[in-house]
Amino acid sequence: MDIIFKIDNDQILNEFGLPRGSMTLVDAAKAKNILDSTRKFECEIAAGGSASNTIHGLSNLGVHCGYIGKIGQDHYGKLFEKELISKHITPTLLYGINPTGTAITLLSGDAERTFATYLGAAVEMEAGELHPNQFNGYSYFHVEGYLVQNHALILKAVQLAKESGLMVSIDLASFTTVEANRDFLKEIIEKYVDIVFANEEEAKSFTGQAPETAANILSEQCEIAIVKIGKLGSIVQTKAKRFAVPAISAVPKDTTGAGDLYAAGFLYGLSKNYDFELCGKIGSLLGGKVIEVYGARIKEDNWPGIKQEVFRLTTA
């Protein structure tokens, strides 16, 4: 679950050693200390998680989706499952000993967000709990980079997905995650991953290069490499072609979920067999729309208008 606070300055980030704009894993004690220090700030609670946000976006565009994860037997876990079902997303949820994971999101005045993530029950998920039948009936498997530190779990997941004939996509999620798991990421991307999503910082952490060169390097290791460069748009790169996709005009309130919803739009396009440039344009549309609201998900009332805009893009 996402617990979002709008902070008035970056003092709390410095106090808890949270690099601005990053995702930092914290234990239960540190998560509690951060929550105790943020009580004075305005707060919003919503179901979250990077892959969950992406699946939520896909479901709102009418794509049949499933979700595999582990929750605690607590109030947050019940809320998480209830939201999946309400969106007609098939849940494969296991129950852990620890509480449901939480991402404390600290939203600065300029819309930059910094995460302190307590994985909770999610970190208990093990490779042995994954089975081939969980992948039946799907065409794509999307995995978030935030859990990549569990190498055995992620390796088993991408292996099962490929054995079941699915295309595999991964969102690198955070430059700190990439730095800590670079060798493992390179191994699975070269062997199993078809689509890589990265923002500018993640791409640089992975390749050591600026976006244009980073996209080239990534495309040599997978079928489709997407490097997002904020208001400058994104680069969609294959071994044969490059597309420069512009960002839409948007007034940002909160950048949380921008990458997740970009992935949703891009994967939606792939599921409809659209060309890669159009997939990128749909990704940019969804990524631009989510930063205009607080939280990592587009509000329910906004989806009819967005679907009309998607329709116009695909029929232009």
What number is the average pLDDT over the span 20-32?
89
C-alpha to C-alpha distance for 289 and 265, rounded to whole angstroms: 11
Residue 221 banded pLDDT, cuts 50, 70, 90: very high
Q: What is the pLDDT of residue 241?
A: 96
Instruction: State the average pLDDT for the chain.
Output: 93
Any idea which residue has 């921008």 for tokens? 258
| Residue 50, domain member (yes or no) | no
C-alpha to C-alpha distance for 185 and 202, rounded to whole angstroms: 12
Judged against a pLDDT cut of 80, whether residue 146 lies above it is answered with no
Judged against a pLDDT cut of 80, whether residue 10 lies above it is answered with yes
| Residue 10, domain member (yes or no) | no
Any idea which residue has 């992975």 for tokens? 206
Q: Name which residue leads in pLDDT, 297 or 284.
A: 284
What number is the average pLDDT over the span 174-192?
93
What are the strands, taking DSSP E only, across 47-187? Answer: 66-71, 90-95, 102-107, 113-118, 140-144, 167-171
Q: Name which residue leads in pLDDT, 177 or 272.
A: 272
| Residue 111, domain member (yes or no) | no
Helix then strand then coil, % of the chain, to nearest 5:
45, 20, 35
| Residue 75, domain member (yes or no) | yes
| Residue 146, domain member (yes or no) | yes
C-alpha to C-alpha distance for 47 and 84, rounded to whole angstroms: 9
| Residue 292, domain member (yes or no) | yes
Residue 44 banded pLDDT, cuts 50, 70, 90: confident
C-alpha to C-alpha distance for 276 and 194, rounded to whole angstroms: 13
252 and 259 Cβ atoms separated by less than 8 Å: no
C-alpha to C-alpha distance for 312 and 302, rounded to whole angstroms: 16
Judged against a pLDDT cut of 90, whether residue 193 lies above it is answered with yes
CATH of the domain at 198: 3.40.1190.20
| Residue 119, domain member (yes or no) | no
Provide the domain count of the chain.
Answer: 1
| Residue 18, domain member (yes or no) | no
Give the range of the structural domain holding residue 177, as residue numbers without chain letter: 56-99+124-315
| pLDDT tens per residue, range 59-110 | 999 999 999 999 999 999 999 999 999 999 999 999 999 999 999 999 888 8
Judged against a pLDDT cut of 80, whether residue 196 lies above it is answered with yes
C-alpha to C-alpha distance for 12 and 34, rounded to whole angstroms: 8
> In this structure, what token pair is assigned to residue 264?
């949703």
C-alpha to C-alpha distance for 255 and 240, rounded to whole angstroms: 31
Q: What is the pLDDT of residue 140?
A: 98
